[in-house]
A and B are shown apart, each in its own frame.
Chain A
């Protein structure tokens, strides 16, 4: 995909999207805003899992870091929410850098274990430090705009989602992005060609954590209430299954996954809280039988479509 084509498609899609508030009611706008949040989360998680082959279970936790940093600053110190979101993003990227340096030189399994532990610990700390975080009651935070309107938040989230997609596009289709995929396909071969494997992974992890922090910060101020639900493993699971079902390692996959699953979950909600179970079963089937997700299926159906990008199993232990 050339740069011009990417920007054309992106801005055309964003232009169409920006017409939505004219035709949609509050409820449907809310669903769109939540979908945009998941789009940002799933796309940035995809950078890590789909392009460097590292599975982090702390992506929702980093969104929580962004949300709580910004929220606590606004509530306790009266910091402007916009500045808070930026500080929250910075905090998430710093923590991401720390966790990344700590466990990425060991790679694979260690990162997954540590990030799982990290998100569980974050949950415990948030629940226990009631005075600061209001625990499971949730922290009430001020909004981003003076006068509350769904349309304003929709445009804010749309803008943030565009920034996220542009950052990811720039990174993935640069030389660095080439290194990402080289590391994913064969670590040793990449290292032998002079790619600093650990540095590449840490870079991907830091960028992806920062983007999660940004998404979480904005989302928290939109909801006006930050609860331990944002950094929970259930949310992490939703982001993961959106990416897996949409298509891991493809640029569009998480975008499609985020919208389709969020909209689907609204339909399932009418029958009760079954959406996590249903998504889990769908994700299991997709990950097992179509590891490249919906995008992979589409690519194999269309003649002359791009070949699936990833998941050539390497031989032996890595």
Chain B
């Protein structure tokens, strides 16, 4: 049971990390929290369901297209809703919260309250470490999550675009003085943040089916991960995501399944009490 709970924790933790990376990137650059993050995660699940199941596309193509569509949607949201609120953090909070409720109700209207599930990638199960059998689909999700996380790290740490991202999140005005078009960067990074939520969505949808409100707990956990890891820190997201995934699953296995999302909240309170800047956060001046 311990091994199985740990394995589940790792899989879901990787997805939390992925969702949190999207939130963290946007917070770091724009100081905006996207409360509709969970609904974009669900949107990608629905897209991949429609493309692969209804239109009969190959599942890889469907996933890539779903992520691309959510990326475009994110850019559209940034352009129409977020951009006019620059410098007024309160309005971006309110707008994205309204957006999340609008999207939830739109899904409910279009797809109904029933769970929808895109087709799985692989079938069967693998005997892990000679200890227990584990679904191949979940193992594949873990690998896919790790690959996307690695991709984000390379993008941010090694490329020219990543250098612009890091410069802007450190000092926006200085980056502007050095010729960075921060408005365009905001648009791209908001889209990228949404695309990361979408990536988490398409990876996890074959394991946990999508419903109109299934994004809420995932987004809440992603927010807790971001606070735990430290706003804007990439490593914080990975470590925090894995910690929360493990805590949630071990807690569900040994204490109570009904309360598995409450453990996250207890962690959030402890972090706020003891170290509000988070594990890897830098104190803001």
* Contact status A280-B102, CB under 8 Å: yes
A214 at the interface (CB under 8 A from B): no
B56 at the interface (CB under 8 A from A): no
A234 at the interface (CB under 8 A from B): yes
* Contact status A108-B273, CB under 8 Å: no
Which residue of chain A has the shortest Cβ distance to B260 in the bound complex? A124
Residues of chain B within 8 A (CB-CB) of A281 are 102
Contact pick for B87, options A55, A105, A240, A316, CB 8 Å: A316
| With A55-B94, A106-B276, A283-B98 as contacts: A117 and B268 at CB distance below 8 Å | yes
Majority SS at the chain B contact face: helix
* Contact status B90-A53, CB under 8 Å: yes
B265 at the interface (CB under 8 A from A): yes
Contact pick for A277, options B31, B109, B261, CB 8 Å: B109
A291 at the interface (CB under 8 A from B): yes
A265 at the interface (CB under 8 A from B): no
Chain A 101-143: CB-based contact to B (< 8 A → 1; otherwise 0): 0110110111011101110110011011000000000000000
* Contact status B105-A277, CB under 8 Å: yes
* Contact status A110-B272, CB under 8 Å: yes
Residues of chain B within 8 A (CB-CB) of A106 are 272, 276
* Contact status B97-A124, CB under 8 Å: no
Residues of chain A within 8 A (CB-CB) of B109 are 274, 277
Which residue of chain B has the shortest Cβ distance to A121 in the bound complex? B265
- B residues 84-101 near A (Cβ < 8 Å) are 84-91, 93-95, 97-99, 101
| With A102-B269, A110-B276, A277-B102 as contacts: A237 and B91 at CB distance below 8 Å | no
* Contact status A287-B106, CB under 8 Å: no
* Contact status A109-B27, CB under 8 Å: yes
Query: How long is the Cα–Cα vector from A17 to B262 in the complex, in angstroms?
Result: 44
Chain A 225-241: CB-based contact to B (< 8 A → 1; otherwise 0): 00000000110010011
Residues of chain A within 8 A (CB-CB) of B3 are none
* Contact status A316-B172, CB under 8 Å: yes
* Chain B nearest CB, measured from A39 CB (Å): 20
B11 at the interface (CB under 8 A from A): no
Query: How long is the Cα–Cα vector from A54 to B94 in the complex, in angstroms?
Result: 10
Residues of chain A within 8 A (CB-CB) of B273 are 102
* Contact status A237-B97, CB under 8 Å: yes
Residues of chain A within 8 A (CB-CB) of B268 are 113-114, 117
Residues of chain B within 8 A (CB-CB) of A251 are none
B33 at the interface (CB under 8 A from A): yes
Query: How long is the Cα–Cα vector from A125 to B101 in the complex, in angstroms?
Result: 22
B35 at the interface (CB under 8 A from A): yes
B208 at the interface (CB under 8 A from A): no
Query: How long is the Cα–Cα vector from A12 to B160 in the complex, in angstroms?
Result: 66
- A residues 211-265 near B (Cβ < 8 Å) are 233-234, 237, 240-241, 244
Residues of chain B within 8 A (CB-CB) of A15 are none
Please choose the segment from A18-26, A163-171, A307-315 that sits at the chain B interface, where 4 or more of its residues have CB less than 8 A away. A307-315
Residues of chain A within 8 A (CB-CB) of B224 are 113, 117
Query: How long is the Cα–Cα vector from A288 to B223 in the complex, in angstroms?
Result: 24
Chain A 148-170: CB-based contact to B (< 8 A → 1; otherwise 0): 00000000000000000000000
Which residue of chain A has the shortest Cβ distance to B258 in the bound complex? A128
* Contact status B87-A313, CB under 8 Å: yes
Chain A 37-63: CB-based contact to B (< 8 A → 1; otherwise 0): 000000000000100011101000000
A276 at the interface (CB under 8 A from B): yes
Chain B interface residues (CB < 8 Å from chain A): 27, 31, 33, 35, 80-81, 84-91, 93-95, 97-99, 101-102, 105-106, 109, 172-173, 216-217, 220, 223-224, 227, 231, 256, 258-259, 261-262, 264-265, 268-269, 272-273, 276
Chain A interface residues (CB < 8 Å from chain B): 49, 53-55, 57, 102-103, 105-106, 108-110, 112-114, 116-118, 120-121, 124-125, 127-128, 233-234, 237, 240-241, 244, 274, 276-277, 280-281, 283-284, 287-288, 291, 311, 313-318
| Closest 8 pairs between A and B when the two form their complex, measured CB to CB | A280-B102, A313-B87, A277-B105, A128-B258, A313-B88, A237-B101, A55-B93, A121-B265
